[in-house]
Amino acid sequence: MRLLSTIATCNSHGQDSSYFLGWQEYEKNPYDELHNPKGIIQMGLAENQLSFDLLESWLAKNPDVAGFKRDGKSIFRELALFQDYHGLPSFKKALVDFMSEIRGNKVTFDPNHIVLTAGSTSANETLMFCLAEQGDAFLLPTPYYPGFDRDLKWRTGAEIVPIQCTSSNNFQITEPALKQAYEEARKRNLRVKGLLVTNPSNPLGTTMSRSELNLLVDFIKEKKDTHLISDEIYSGTVFSSPGFVSVMEILKERNDTEEIWNRVHVVYSLSKDLGLPGFRVGAIYSENDTVVAAATKMSSFGLVSSQTQYLLSAMLGDKKFARNYIVENQKRLKRRQRMMVSGLQKAGISCLESNAGLFCWVDMRHLLHSNTFEAEMELWKKIVYQVGLNISPGSSCHCTEPGWFRVCFANMSEETLTLAMKRLKNFVVESTCTQRSALFNGTSKRKSLTKWVFRLSSRDHREQEER
């Protein structure tokens, strides 16, 4: 007799992925400048710690908000009591205005069509429950965020079919790859319920082009009863051109029918743009009234606390602060990304040209001893255990090409990033020297063997003549 449920005992959560295993190794031996200077530096966590001072400065100037006061009077009891799971109207209004600001106010969002969730993890899973039956499939372009195997599949029973993207065109989605993924799902007897993309991409750190977005909208227009989910939680981290284009902007430009609008849904979060993953603030935006109603009911399993909503409604409602924060945060991300790229270049390592996100998609294919995922894992283990850097191997992101790694740069100080790049450079130098030495020794042995064979054959020839 089974004591636990199938969900409790199955391994589809993805916790055994190298993406999560790297975290576990870091937690066993975390780097600390004073107490553990030889420990592992965490470069596998996409956190934005570059602009905390801006948030702390605002809180210091607005002590009433942080103290849960309104007009100098405590509203602690009001916030502590039960709140409707539709969310505080003031926060929903402030959140949609912030989302519009990030998009250059080219699109607007109706607060009546937003559903608050406990982070984007909850938002994506909720959409799966709303849109798919158990066994239905969503198509995702590779490489994709490793956590999607958990968020989309674990409890919902939905399936993921990859859209295979390659470095030949900087991992952009193509029509043939999209059609191939659709046919692959059909061969597996899976009903395709839609597409899910991250824009900007995690792990690529790039924004999607208008042509890619139009391709996706054309797809759901052709394939009836399919949906498009655009996870835009990194939309405020775009620091270089080309700028960010939301799928909502594409819909507005195309002037598609209401029926198409009803099948496009946006996921957002304050975890990356504001650097507040611990606050657990996510959202679903949809023009589909049925989806909004169903998602709102489901959100009762993962609500955002009233205290959090009150604080952030005041912070984001300060339009001048919100506008200045977006600009300054992007400047800091750009400077830090350039620092990372420069450090990689000094180590003889290149990366995909990026314009967004909290990470670089790093090309270490030249450091593999063979073009295999086994070689990638060997390299990853050396970097974790010998170099002391936790980075995420491309295979954990379902990349089709061995040797790519996601490396984060915004969750540490400049000093720590400098140390990380120094460690990596030393490793590359040592590895190169080892390879050259092995090559030289191999060549020397071959030369010696050639002489030995020549001498042996000459001796045999003389013996033959003597006979």
pLDDT digits (tens, 9 = 90+) for 154-192: 899 999 999 999 999 999 999 999 999 999 999 999 999
Q: Which of 114, 272, 285, 363 is catalytic?
A: 272
What b/e string do you get for 78-104 counting C-beta neighbours within 10 Å, with b at 16 or more? Answer: ebeeebebebbebbbbbbbbbbbbbbe
Exposed, middle or buried by CB within 10 Å (0-12, 13-18, 19+), for 360?
A: buried
For position 410, what pLDDT does the model report? Answer: 97
Residues 368 and 310 in one domain: no
For position 456, what pLDDT does the model report? Answer: 33
Q: Sign of the C-alpha dihedral, residues 34, 37, 39, 42?
A: positive
Residues 102 and 251 in one domain: yes
Instruction: Inform me whether the pLDDT recorded for 130 exceeds 50.
Output: yes
Q: Which of 31, 145, 268, 285 is catalytic?
A: 145
Distance of alpha carbon 3 from alpha carbon 149, whole angstroms: 25
For position 449, what pLDDT does the model report? Answer: 34
In a domain, residue 209? The reply is: yes
385 catalytic, yes or no? Answer: no
349 catalytic, yes or no? Answer: no
For position 168, what pLDDT does the model report? Answer: 95
Residues 193 and 151 in one domain: yes
Instruction: Inform me whether the pLDDT recorded for 112 exceeds 80.
Output: yes
Order of strands, sheet of 137-141, starting from the edge strand that comes earlier in the sequence: 114-117, 282-286, 264-269, 227-231, 192-198, 137-141, 159-163
Question: What are the beta bridge partners of residue 32?
Answer: 36
Residues 77 and 150 in one domain: yes
Domain that holds residue 300: 68-322
In this predicted model, what pLDDT tens digit does every residue of 410-443 receive, in sequence order?
999 999 999 999 999 999 998 877 666 665 565 5
Residues 251 and 127 in one domain: yes
In this predicted model, what pLDDT tens digit does every residue of 288-311 receive, in sequence order?
999 999 999 999 899 999 999 999
Distance of alpha carbon 465 from alpha carbon 370, whole angstroms: 48
Task: Find the helix or strand (DSSP H, E) in which 363 lies.
Answer: strand 359-363
Residues 340 and 193 in one domain: no
Residue 365, C-beta contacts closer than 8 angstroms, at least 6 positions apart: 371, 401, 402, 403, 404
Contact 261, 221 (CB under 8 A): no
Residues 78 and 194 in one domain: yes
CATH value at residue 399? 3.90.1150.10
Distance of alpha carbon 51 from alpha carbon 403, whole angstroms: 32
233 catalytic, yes or no? Answer: yes
Contact 25, 14 (CB under 8 A): no
In a domain, residue 260? The reply is: yes
Which regions of 51-191 does DSSP assign to beta strands (E)? Answer: 69-70, 73-74, 114-117, 137-141, 159-163
Q: Kindly report the CA angle at 336 between 334 and 342, in degrees rounded to 5?
A: 100
Exposed, middle or buried by CB within 10 Å (0-12, 13-18, 19+), for 60?
A: exposed
In a domain, residue 439? The reply is: no
Kindly state the average pLDDT of the residues 96-124.
Answer: 95
Instruction: Inform me whether the pLDDT recorded for 408 exceeds 80.
Output: yes
Torsion of CA 197, 44, 350, 31, to 10 degrees: 170
Look at residues 294, 322, 350 and tell me which one is the last residue of a structural domain.
Answer: 322
Residues 302 and 345 in one domain: no
In a domain, residue 304? The reply is: yes
CATH value at residue 93? 3.40.640.10
Q: How many CA atoms lie within 13 A of 197 on its CB side?
A: 31
What are the structure tokens assigned to 69, written together? 């006061």
Residues 118 and 206 in one domain: yes
Look at residues 270, 293, 322 and tell me which one is the last residue of a structural domain.
Answer: 322
* Residue appearing with tokens 């945060």: 329
Residues 240 and 308 in one domain: yes
In a domain, residue 364? The reply is: yes
In a domain, residue 40? The reply is: yes
Identify residue 116 by its one-letter amino acid code. L
Kindly state the average pLDDT of the residues 378-401.
Answer: 96
In a domain, residue 241? The reply is: yes
pTM for the full predicted model: 0.89
For position 113, what pLDDT does the model report? Answer: 97
Residues 337 and 318 in one domain: no
Nearest to 247 by CA among 201, 197, 193: 197
In this predicted model, what pLDDT tens digit does every residue of 39-75 receive, in sequence order?
999 999 999 999 999 999 999 999 999 888 888 889 8
Q: What is the DSSP string of 414-440?
A: HHHHHHHHHHHHHHHHHHHHHHHHHHH
Look at residues 276, 297, 322 and tell me which one is the last residue of a structural domain.
Answer: 322
102 catalytic, yes or no? Answer: no
| Domains held by the chain: number | 2
Residues 136 and 213 in one domain: yes
What are the structure tokens assigned to 351, written together? 């990366």
